[in-house]
Structure formats: structure tokens, C-alpha cells
Amino acid sequence: MKANIMLLPGDGIGPEILTAAVQVLDKVASKYGHEFAYNEQLIGGIAIDKTGNPLPEETLRAGEQSDAILLASVGGPKWSDPSAPVRPEQGLLKIRGHFGLFANLRPVKTYPALAQHVPLRPDLLEGVDMLIVRELTGGLYFGERKEQGDGADSYDTMYYSVPEVERVAHVAFKAAQKRRGKLTSVDKANVLASMRLWRRTVVKVAEDYADVELDHVLVDACAMYLMTRPASFDVIVAENMFGDILSDEASVLAGSLGMLPSASLGSGTFGLYEPVHGSAPDIAGKGIANPIGQFLSAAMMLRHSLNLETEASAVEAAVDAVLDDGARTADIAVKGGATVGTAEFTQAVIAKL
């Protein structure tokens, strides 16, 4: 097949890990007889520096001509002032809204080979394999806000409509049907009106999925359960900010934030794929970044946007095999143990493919 993929390297380690992911995709293309065309564009801090806009119109137009978007990371100390009128993160919010990418899928699983990096008892990690579905274009991050500066009142609004909750709930229920048939809906219905609407709506959607077991957990309790009984979760669906925080917490279970991929999807096959981690400016340019989250994000792109399940599974299996062989980037290495750089790890994955 032929596919047009927009690349957004962004900032920090972004260009390094995205270059590595393209090398893996090129190996997939040559092995399975596909043709991937790439179009690199700007987003984030580098886009601010070059155009004054964290998401230039040219990037949006290029995305509209693409089958999928593969993004690396945005942000860094240079643009870290939270009161600045233009910030890299604004590019992420805008691109999600522009393309209607309302569901963010974040799979989390444990790797036995990396168990020593997880600050939990080994028995708690057995069988951990969950999918966090984060609502991505509503809630607290997109609600009405007011900020007047030092000493003035400010507010943010958590707003949800029934259709917004319904559509992400359907994504979560359908995912649960393909997994172990259990969905946990996270809210704060004991305090927030918007979250009572969330719970009522999820309960109503559940009527269409009799084969899925539904339970409701308050967000603070969920944060605790992720550390005390993580294997009990199958699929979790949560509001935008809650999902953001909980999925970062859950990354501890995988051994490193560098391990986790994500897919941002809308109503069709088009999607944006990015690792969960940030731009890691402290190691940018050193060639030591962990590319696994980017590789697994590329695998999710192959699966969800390009319908290439065999190829996606092959990339995931190659990553697992390289880890089983003992290759470790610095973030997942035993203290004092041998490490490999981004390029060496990439070549090992390509060799497994």
C-alpha cells in the first residue's frame, strides 16, 4: 500500500527519535512491500522560533493531505514560561481540535525484563496490561478560562456535553470488547456536576454493550489503585486532565516514561501518534534517548490508520525481542550497567524485523 505520513519532529529529542522511527518504518515498508511518503513540518517551540506560531497553517494544510501524523515531542526550557502568550503546548491542543481527535489511546503493559526499574513489588506487576482512553478535546483543558495576571482572580472551566462523553465512551467500550471485556470509568462525580453528567452518560452508553463489565471509580481512588492493584484494570476511560495525569502515573508500571506510545483518534481512520514522554531537553543531541515510545507509536499508526496489523505486531515483537536480548538505553539500564544509544537500539530493532 501507499501512505502519506506527516512527520512532526518538534523539540528536544524529537528529531532524534523520529529519525529512528522513520528508519524502522522504512524497514517495514521494504519487508512488506509498502510505500511510505513523508512530509516533515513544524510544531512546538521550533515553530514559534521560525514562524511565531506553535502550529503554522502550513502544518495544518499538510496534515489535511496526509493519512496519519507521527509526532515526537514539543517544548523545552526556552519556551517554559507558563504566562507567555504563545507556548509550544498550544500547538498540541490546536492540532487535536482541528482534526477532531477526541480519543487518546494509551496502552500500558509491564515488561518482565524491566521489573527492577518499577518501584512496586514484583507480584503487583504480574498480568498488568491496560489501555487508558483519555478524552482529548473537551474538559478542563478546553473549557472557558480567565487569567488576569498577578493578584487577580482566574478560573478554568470543566465543561462536557452529552455527545462529547458518548463518543469517547463508545471508543472505550469497543476497545474493551476486543480485550478482556472490562471498562473502568473514572470521574469525580461526588463533587463535580460535569462528572455527574459523565457518569450518567457512560451508564447510558453501557446499554449498548451488554458483554462489557462496567465499573465507576473516583479519580483519586483510581490513582491509588494503579499503584496497589494495577492488574485489575483492563480499559480505563477518563476526562482530559484526569486521563493525562493517570496515564503518566501508569507509566511507572512500564519501567520508564520512554516506553509508552499513544494514538489520538477521531471518527475515522486518521490519527496522530506520539510517545507519551516530553522533549527531554537535558539529553537532546546526545544520542542516548529511548526511542521505544516512538517506535510503538509508529506501530499504533500502522494498526489504526493504515490497517496493517501484521506489520504493527512485528514492530512490537521486535522491540520486545531486543529488550529480552538485554539492550538498554540509559533510562532503563541497571545502575552501572551497559547501555546503548538511540542509533544502536534502532539498528537492533531493525535487525529483529
Which residue numbers are catalytic?
Answer: 141, 188, 220, 244, 248
Contact (CB, 8 A) for 92 and 131: no
For residues 169 and 336, give the distance between their C-alpha atoms in angstroms, rounded to a whole number. Answer: 45
User: Residue 70: how many CB atoms within 10 A of its CB?
Assistant: 26
Under 8 Å between Cβ of 194 and 159 = yes
DSSP 113: G
| Per-residue exposure over 115-135, b if at least 16 CB sit within 10 Å of its own CB, e if not | eebbebeeebbeebebbbbbb
Task: Find the angle CA(69)-CA(180)-CA(130) to the nearest 5 degrees.
Answer: 50
CB under 8 Å, gap of 24 or more: what pairs does 206-210 form?
206/169, 206/173, 208/170, 208/173, 209/173, 209/174, 209/176, 209/177, 209/183
Contact status, residue 119 vs residue 184, Cβ threshold 8 Å: no
Dmax over CA atoms of the chain, in Å, equals 61
* CA torsion angle 28 128 235 232 (round to 10): 170
